[in-house]
Amino acid sequence: MTAPRAPCIILVRPQLGENIGMAARAMANFGLQDLRIVAPRDGWPNAKAVDAAVGASALVERASVFETVAGAVADLNRVAATTARQRGQAKPVLSPVDAMADWAGRAAAGQAVGVLFGPERTGLANEEVALADAIVSFPVDPAHSSLNLAQAVSLMAYEWRKTALGGAAPFAIDHETPPASREALLAFFAYLEDELATAGYFVPSIKRPIMARNLNNILRRADLTEQDVRTLRGMVAALVRGRGRVSAREAEPE
Amino acid sequence: MTAPRAPCIILVRPQLGENIGMAARAMANFGLQDLRIVAPRDGWPNAKAVDAAVGASALVERASVFETVAGAVADLNRVAATTARQRGQAKPVLSPVDAMADWAGRAAAGQAVGVLFGPERTGLANEEVALADAIVSFPVDPAHSSLNLAQAVSLMAYEWRKTALGGAAPFAIDHETPPASREALLAFFAYLEDELATAGYFVPSIKRPIMARNLNNILRRADLTEQDVRTLRGMVAALVRGRGRVSAREAEPE
């Protein structure tokens, strides 16, 4: 059996090259290889990142750099966001151990998993957290909840390796088609939002972002497969195209 | 019951003030308080250590400083040495998880436990390892076995807190309203199915039961709250009532 595909680490708008390098070193310590960086503050390449990586400089040098989080997660089947704070988003909240239990099975089934880490000072923006399927939170003391970025990466990589070495029997997920790629999911959400805007759903318009995010969070929780996304798209298209027919509830204003 | 006494962290001949401070910050993240430092290279106090500790500077300021490892461990009941390399010493070698299983019982019985971490460049000397009762080794990739000092402290502190908390996530999913009653859920499904039938979604009609069941299963997986059901109902109503407006995808047959 080939080794399960390890999660990729996605650093979103990282500020310090040293932290990027130390995160890469931690990844190498625990057998992770795929480093992705979104909009690094100080540009790319970054000599400080290479220096701080010590023996893992090659991992920094072959990191993929993206302009947006959406681009960085496009090919993944499952995305988690790390955050220490409650974000008012209706997503599952997992400990690192819980996350690994889920990911081990997915990885064994050939699915690609990634973890988002936010900038040092602020953490992930709410709209970045919204792109994830689940939140991973470390069991920190609430009075000292600010984790160093590279240490957070280290903890996640360590848990991954423990799981990967533990030989826990990977379980098969009973889905007939694989989880939707994030790209397919985002395209569906964009389509749905367009149609709802056209239909006059977003009232008042200033609430459109939060209303759209609420809908996205509801639908993400369903752990949609490629087929599910096609089904939902067909449902929306049918409702839109049913124009000129009579609504089942025409007489009952909503 | 009082909380079990957390392990103390003993940094032996640390070189960089930044690492001392980042180790202290990691201790505070996971509820450890007792920092001991043996013969710091750059003397004591160390302003860089205080700066790097961020919110945990008080922990640095009240650290105990010793001249020898023997002095630092004098009052402890159990001492472990962290090392990535085989030391040719006939001591038990534990993973961090194994170590916690041992220490949790000792701590609950009032025993004092401490962990030695060696200098950045060389690790602990053999005669320092000899002062420990056990060796703790992290499950690193042998090709990249050099852990950053503060990250090693972070991993150990994290494992301690997981053990102390029993693995609970620090906060739960943010559901503002309770799960939908099954009655509300079934009423919504019936409404959706009516509207889809009106819109001509169920083609061929013989497949209506299986198509409706698929949709219900997708939406059930989202673990809908009362509010979610209202949100989805509003979404469907908007799509139905948007009739006469222009579809965002009017030109693209589905």
For an interface test with B, the pick among A121, A144, A185 (most B C-beta atoms closer than 10 Å) comes out as A144
pLDDT above 70 (res B25): yes
Residues of B in Cβ contact (< 8 Å) with A192: 235
Interchain pair A146, B218: CB under 8 A:
no
Query: Residue B21's closest chain A neighbor by CA?
Result: A148
Interchain pair B161, A139: CB under 8 A:
yes
Q: Are A11 and A23 in contact (CB under 8 A)?
A: yes
Interchain pair A151, B154: CB under 8 A:
yes
At residue B1, the pLDDT reads: 43
At residue A96, the pLDDT reads: 93
At residue B176, the pLDDT reads: 59
- Model confidence, pTM: 0.79
The neighbour count for residue A245, using CB atoms within 10 Å, is 15
At residue B174, the pLDDT reads: 59
The rounded radius of gyration (Å) of the Cα atoms in chain A is 20
Mean pLDDT, range B228-253, rounded to an integer: 72
Nearest to A61 by CA among A45, A38, A39: A45
Residues of A in Cβ contact (< 8 Å) with B173: 90-93
pLDDT above 90 (res B3): no
A150 and B CB contact within 8 Å:
yes
pLDDT above 80 (res B249): no
Ranges of residues in chain A with a pLDDT under 70 are 1-3, 86, 167-176, 243-254
B182 and A CB contact within 8 Å:
no
At residue B153, the pLDDT reads: 97
pLDDT above 50 (res B43): yes
At residue A174, the pLDDT reads: 46
**Tell me, what amino acid is at B223?**
D
Residues of A in Cβ contact (< 8 Å) with B101: none
Nearest to A192 by CA among A226, A225, A134, A239: A239
The two three-digit tokens of residue A85, written as one number: 């704070």
Nearest to A224 by CA among A167, A168, A181, A172: A181
pLDDT above 80 (res B27): yes
For an interface test with A, the pick among B155, B159, B210, B215 (most A C-beta atoms closer than 10 Å) comes out as B155
A175 and B CB contact within 8 Å:
no
At residue A253, the pLDDT reads: 40
Better-scored residue on pLDDT, B3 or A213: A213
Query: Residue B229's closest chain A neighbor by CA?
Result: A218
A241 and B CB contact within 8 Å:
yes
Residues of A in Cβ contact (< 8 Å) with B158: 138-139, 155
At residue B130, the pLDDT reads: 84
pLDDT above 70 (res B71): yes
Residue-wise pLDDT for B28-39, tens only, equals 999 999 999 999
Residues 6+ apart with CB under 8 A from B44: B37, B65
Give the β-pairing of B8-12 and B113-117: parallel
- Phi then psi for residue B82, to 5 deg, are -90, 135
What mean pLDDT value characterizes chain B? 86
At residue B17, the pLDDT reads: 97
Mean pLDDT, range B66-94, rounded to an integer: 85
For an interface test with B, the pick among A102, A146, A154, A252 (most B C-beta atoms closer than 10 Å) comes out as A154
Cβ-nearest to A140 among B29, B138, B141: B29
Cite the DSSP H helix spans in chain B. 17-29, 47-52, 57-61, 69-72, 96-108, 126-129, 149-165, 182-198, 208-220, 226-241
